[in-house]
Structure 1
Amino acid sequence: MRIGRRPPKVSVIIPTYNLASLLPLTINSVLEQTYPDLETIVVDDGSTDNTPEVMERYSGRVIYIRQPNQGVAAARNTGIRAASGDCLMFMDHDDLLLPHKVQRQVDVMQARPDISFVHCRYYHIDEKGAPFEKVGLLPEGDVLAQLIIGDFVWVGGPLIRRECLERVGLFDEENPWSADWDMWLRIARTGYAFACVQEPLGSYRILSSSMTGNVLKLEQGAIRVLDKAFADPALPADIVARKSLAYGHTRFWLSCRYYAAGAWEDAGRNFSQALALHPQFLSRMNEMAQMLADDALSLRVTEPLGFLEGVFAHLPPEHEAFRRRQSMIFEKTYLGLALRNYALGNVDEGKRFLAAALKQNPALRENPEDFGSSLYYHAMRLPSNSPHQFVDRVLQNLPDGAQRLAAVRQHVIGDVSIGNAFQDYFSGLRLSVVRQVLTGIRCRPSWLKNRGVWSIFLKSLTGWPTTGHVSQARPSA
């Protein structure tokens, strides 16, 4: 039914298979939602562990459905058929929600009846539940051009109107490894605009078993999604024009997954295909270098430096030109490891890795702004709410010979303050927006020229609604 003034009933569907140890944490995070009209459905896809015994604790509070093992897509579809909600949400059995997640997303739908899909930012957490990073601002509006390049939607993120799912159909049970990306693409291709709550509302857990699992099935699933999307005769011409980029980007991402798994032949095959499909990568080596460094620093890679050593030891011989970026990639990775350790309070390790980054690229000492950009990037992705303290911890504990880097403090604090202002704006924290903007402008006056900054500042002063999209741009030089 169409959501009007009456708050909708929300059904949360959790497929599960043999993860009884973590399932209660996921269920409890749903039951602890502040939103009152909530239905929780757990679909047990043929677990052979003690999941049935665990579910006895939730009798009367959770709808429990047990079926023969058919895969996660089939389990989600079983949940859809059983759900009675006006809106639906899906969760993996090891992810977590913050208590106000559903309420925040329902508020957006109530305020914007034209929206049928509301996703959100989120945290990455490790196997033990420790916060790792906060995902940055995510696309919203007409997102098809970005979504065709890669899946940026966390499966636990979206709240979706039932009528939207009824229109686009169920999850593709023949492609369980990429059924969520396929679903989001079908929704976007049908013409639905995406809204996004630009604050973290949940946590995506990355397990060690998921880091180097069956990459071949992941490859088959991802390519099948793209084949299906580009076979759509109604696909807009501007999206069709992104075909080589979409396949090339996906092949490059798959090569990283294969390198992480030590599957050198398949890694090289996908790496070569990425460059063959999208030769423009050859003129964007710096971008590829950044992508590879980012992948090395992700939770999916347990040994970042070993991962990179494996990449360069098994680089396809026809792509030796990429080897010339080896020093840059290691520099970016050392720098990321340094800032990660500073964030964790491991100052000595942070100094050691930062010294290694400077050894890889001595010119970094003479270009503090480049270091400042990396410092800002990592500060804004900290899972904690203390980026200013993080910046000071780094700049007050630099390795010998690197004191010139401390000159970036004012600019970085200014950028972090503006970044926080945008986050607080989307969270409805108006007074904090005003304070953060004033701090940002004081530290970096060039933000005065930014229209987005003025927009959130004036709207926060006047009480203007905070739903909708505001662009955050970098300051003028």
Structure 2
Amino acid sequence: MRISCVIPTRNRPEMTCRAIASVMAQDIPVSEIIVVDDGSTDHTAALVAARFPGVRLLHRSGLGPGLARNAGVAEACGEVVMFLDSDDVWLEGHVARLVRTMARGFPVAYGVTRNCDQVGGGEFCLPEPGMALEGHCLAALSRWCFLVPSAMAVEKGACVAVGGFGSGELGEDWSFFIRLAQRFPFGFCGEEPITLRYLHHGSLCNGANSERLETLLASVSCALAETGAAAENLVRFQALAEWTRQQGDWQTIQQWYISLKQEELI
């Protein structure tokens, strides 16, 4: 099995190198690492090229994380693609556990992400303990997004078949997962975290103002509509958008999520 790792980045030189190093430390090597430099204005690309000459470096400009990932997938030689955001790292055994899960017949596999919240403090896991699902996950994803790109593997053909990630800075991954879940079963590789995610002041999940969140919800609603989701799901997202608009802003997506849970909206 040939595996391609796709890392989108912009103006994150040291973080990107840390991410690449975590891929190279895996006990099962990937076939290629593709870094998509999405319009960096600093020395990110130069540092990657100097430290990791074997990495394939693509240059794009202002695509955003989702479309940058798609650009990497288009160039990938592997039958399987694994993603890694530039501010995340793969933990030991990441590749091996996802590969074993796909070997059970799943075109999509995912694992637990341990989130280190450097903005609000503390740690949390996604999915939460005991909340992971395997098989048909569309209904669950219609309520909340319980995985991240950095903790998943997908057959390249499946990724292309659903049109890849969407545009924008928020919700492009959730919409992608919904489109995947409509057509393919998901495999879960166990409760032990396989990815470490840093939520920092430069994270796209920081600065969760109501306008950005409404855009996220609109993107996910469109994806649900494409799947032929039940009308009550679409109405629920409209209600979430209205409640979010009335409540104002949050500092992070996680804080918004906690508020939604407290209101029993998810």
Q: TM-score range by the shorter chain?
A: 0.7 to 0.9
Structure 1 residue 131, shift from structure 2 partner: 6.8
For residues 26-79 of structure 1, the C-alpha deviation after alignment (integer angstroms, 9 at most, x for no partner) is 111111111124311100001011102211233432111112222222211110
Structure 1: state its 5+ residue gaps. 1-7, 263-270, 272-287, 295-477
Aligned residue among 221, 224, 229 for 1:229: 224
Partner of 1:189: 182
Which letter maps to 1:107? R
Which letter maps to 1:31?
M
State the alpha-carbon separation in 1 of the partners of residues 178 and 140 from structure 2. Answer: 10
Between Structure 1 and Structure 2, the one with more strand by share is 2
Contact 2:5–2:32 (Cα < 8 Å) also in 1:
yes
CA contact (8 A) 2:34 2:56 kept: yes
The aligned residue for residue 201 of structure 1 is 194
Could you tell me which residue of structure 1 aligns to residue 233 of structure 2?
Answer: 242
1:150 aligned to which of 138, 141, 144 = 144
Shift of 1:143: 1.1
Residues of 2 paired with 1:107 and 1:68: CA distance? 36
Map 1:4-403 to 2 at 5 A: 8-110=1-103, 112-113=104-105, 115-127=106-118, 132-134=123-125, 135-137=128-130, 138-173=132-167, 175-190=168-183, 192-198=184-190, 199-209=192-202, 210-212=205-207, 215-233=210-228, 235=229, 239-249=230-240, 252=243, 258-261=248-251, 291-292=261-262
Encode CA deviations 1:178-215: one digit per residue, 9 max, x unaligned.
2111111111122x111111221111211124422555
Contact 1:140 1:194 in 2 (8 A): yes
Kindly provide the amino acid, as one letter, of the partner of residue 34 in structure 1. Answer: D
In the other structure, the counterpart of 1:389 is none
> Does the CA contact (< 8 Å) of 1:149 and 1:250 recur in 2?
no
Contact 1:40 1:63 in 2 (8 A): yes
The 3-state SS of whatever aligns with 1:170 is: coil
Q: Over residues 70-123 of structure 1, what are the superposed CA-to-partner deviations in whole Å (9 max), with x where a residue is unaligned?
A: 22222111101111011001121100111211111101111x22x111011110
Structure 2 CA distance for aligned equivalents of residues 52 and 78 of structure 1: 16
Identity percentage over the alignment? 24
* Alignment check: 8 A CA contact 1:150 1:246 kept: no
Q: Deviations over 1:312-352 (max 9, x none)?
A: xxxxxxxxxxxxxxxxxxxxxxxxxxxxxxxxxxxxxxxxx
Alpha-carbon distance change, 254 to 117 in structure 1, aligned in 2, over 3 angstroms: farther
CA RMSD in angstroms comes to: 2.8
How far apart, CA to CA, are the structure 2 residues paired with 1:58 and 1:143?
40
In structure 1, distance between residues paired with 2:53 and 2:150:
24
Unaligned runs of at least 5 residues, structure 2: none
**TM-score, length-scaled by structure 2:** 0.84
Contact 2:211–2:245 (Cα < 8 Å) also in 1: no
SS in 2 for 1:156: helix
- Aligned partner letter, 2:207: T
Give the helix-richer structure, 1 or 2. 1
Offset of residue 245 of structure 1: 3.1
Q: What SS is found at the alignment partner of 2:5?
A: strand
Question: Size of the alignment, in residue pairs?
Answer: 253
Secondary structure in structure 2 of the residue aligned to 1:159? strand
In 2, Cα distance between the equivalents of 1:63 and 1:50? 16
Contact 1:118–1:195, Cα closer than 8 Å, also in 2? yes
Distance 1:201 1:59, change over 3 A: closer
The question of whether the paired residues in 1 share the 8 Å contact of 2:200 and 2:206 is answered with: yes
CA shift in 2, pair 1:231/1:122, >3 Å: closer
State the shift of 1:293 in Å.
8.8
Q: 1:93 to 1:215 in 2, by over 3 A?
A: farther
- Structure with more relative contact order (C-alpha pairs < 8 Å, separation 6 or more): 2
Report the CA distance shift for 1:203/1:254 in structure 2 as closer, same or farther (over 3 A). Answer: farther
Instruction: Answer whether contact 2:113 2:193 (CA < 8 A) is retained.
Output: yes
Question: How far 1:253 sits from its partner (Å)?
Answer: 6.0
Q: Normalized against structure 1, the TM-score is what? A: 0.49
Contact persistence 2:210–2:249 (CA under 8 A): no
